Amino acid sequence: MLNNEERIAVGSALSQNFFLSLNDWSYGILLPRIFISLAIKFPLEYLPIILLSMATLLWAIYSLIIFSVIFRATNRYSIATLAGLLLILVPLPGLGMQGVVWNSFWPMFIALTAVVCCSAYGSSKSSTIGLSILAFFTAASNPVTAVLLVLIIFDYWRDQVSRKKIQFFASSLFIGLLFSLYVQVRQEPQYRYLGDWTQELAQTSQTFGWIEEAGGNRVRGVPPFDISNIVRGVPGSVKYLLTQMAPERFASEWILTEDAFSNLTHIVVLTAIFFVVPLVSVLLLRRKSPDSPIPKIMLRLGIIFVAVEVLQIYLIGGVVQTRQLLFVPVCCYWLAVFLLLPRSFKTTFNLHGVFSICVIFLLLVFGLLTKQNFRDPLDVKLPLVGNGRYEERDLWRPALKIARENCETMSSDEIIIISQKTDIWVDAPIVVKCKYIAK
């Protein structure tokens, strides 16, 4: 089973050399393309399982990086474990993140964000070099990494003892950004990293015809800077973001409302639930434990949260969508909530006890959201501008049943395509031999 964008990258890698393939799409360029170029060296029939294995390995590495830096900062196994599991449990299944090599530059960015927010630039020379390599590949694969320079520059100015480590780390990140920028600038016509989907007659490198039919000729164009358009998009973007942190059925129902008063009510309620509680908890924690590193880490996570969201609202110029950068702020938010998990839960009815209960409530909400990773992750109004969260219908079981019925009249080695929907653009079909789906 290949993600839509991943199979475009596979087709590009099969039809030309690695360096020419960098010209096709300007985002997620370096590290995912390296792994995809390696994967196609194996027999093509093993391609899906090889890519899945590669993606699983990448997810494990990124999760371990997050675990190590959070444990080093807090000395708490429970928090570090939850933080490491975040990439697997994050309630955004619509992104199709897990198991996709092409999208691996997003969890890699979350891992690097955790490193920077914890100021973990390496306890030894070898670890600093390793983290700097991560910084280079992240920046070379995801230009949004530039927002981390805000915190890195502050650390360089504040921490005189670790300046050499920070400088080496920042240099690797900056070189990666230059590489990404170079690839974008040399493309003809000049592609852009984010923005509204637009149909253009782009003369890309020659790839398979079915790649164009699957959307390979769709490129992203950055809208011109329009402050009024950005301001108009803020309420809708905020509402969309907040509903992604709410469990069903509220998420799907509230996002579809168009009444101004209802929208305002929803924003106020969700903001009170998801942001007031963590903010008050941080203030209480800072007053109770002035030396705790958690408030500082949460503040830095908040800066990245806002920076990424502002960047997205500018680049997209409208309502934030799960298929863009929503993955990053939601990961930052839940990581911050994990850090607030109290060391001991005491049922005392003081102010600290009340907000401890509220923080645990937020964690329970996260638990309710994670179950949606195991449902059909298709938006109600696809392909790319859907407002609803998930379809209630079970799509895979009927599709598998139809495929099995067709296989009864076919050889066990015959290949069949299992598709949830008829439109290839909104589905991720499975190409499999009949013998592997036999009853």
User: What is the C-alpha separation between 217 and 213, in angstroms, rounded?
Assistant: 8
pLDDT computed for residue 437 by the predictor? 85
- Which pLDDT band holds residue 171 (cuts at 50, 70, 90)? very high
At 225, list the tokens: 């800077």
Residues in the chain: 439
In this predicted structure, the answer to whether residue 190 has a pLDDT above a threshold of 60 is no
pLDDT tens string 315-330: 766 666 655 668 888 8
Instruction: With cut-offs at 50, 70 and 90, classify the pLDDT of residue 209.
Output: very low
pLDDT greater at residue 237 or residue 387: 237
Token pair, residue 62, equals 């990124």
% of the chain exceeding 90 in pLDDT: 27
**Mean pLDDT value across residues 249-257:** 76
**Confidence bin at 116 (pLDDT 50/70/90):** very high
64, 80 contact by CB (below 8 A): no
Could you tell me the pLDDT band of residue 114, with boundaries at 50, 70 and 90? very high
State the pLDDT at residue 285. 85
Contact 320, 385 (CB under 8 A): no
Give the residue carrying structure tokens 């992604």. Answer: 244
pLDDT band at residue 370 using 50, 70 and 90 as cut-offs = confident
More confident residue, 371 or 82: 82
Are 253 and 386 within 8 A, CB to CB?
Answer: no
Q: What are the residue boundaries of the structural domains of the chain, listed by start?
A: 1-222, 224-392, 396-436
pLDDT tens-digit map of 338-368:
998 887 656 556 777 788 888 889 998 888 8
pLDDT reported for residue 113 = 96
Which of 42-56 are b and which e, b meaning 16 or more Cβ less than 10 Å from the residue's Cβ? Answer: eeeeebbebbbebbe
Which position has the higher pLDDT, 309 or 428? 309
Q: In this structure, what token pair is assigned to residue 103?
A: 């999208």
For 46, 99, 437, 439, the CA distances from 407, given in Å and listed in that order, are 21, 27, 9, 10
Q: Is the dihedral of CA 287, 338, 96, 38 positive or negative?
A: positive
Any idea which residue has 């807090």 for tokens? 74
Angle between helix 125-141 and helix 30-39 axes, rounded to 10 deg: 90
| Residue 197 bridge partners (DSSP) | 220
Mean of per-residue pLDDT scores for the chain:
78
Cross-strand pairs, 228? none
Could you tell me which residues come within 8 angstroms of residue 168 by beta carbon, excluding any fewer than 6 positions away?
128, 129, 132
Q: What is the SS3 string spanning 144-183?
A: HHHHHHHHHHHHHHHCCCCHHHHHHHHHHHHHHHHHHHHH
Whether 211 has a pLDDT exceeding 50, the answer reads no
Higher pLDDT: 261 or 248? It is 261
> Distance between CA atoms of 119 and 161, rounded to whole angstroms?
13
Tell me whether the omega of the peptide bond preceding residue 249 falls within 30 degrees of 0, making it cis.
yes
Task: Indicate the Cα dihedral angle 263, 265, 271, 272, nearest 10°.
Answer: -170
Q: Is the confidence at residue 32, as pLDDT, over 80?
A: yes
Range with the lowest mean pLDDT among 133-137, 163-167, 185-189, 255-259? 185-189
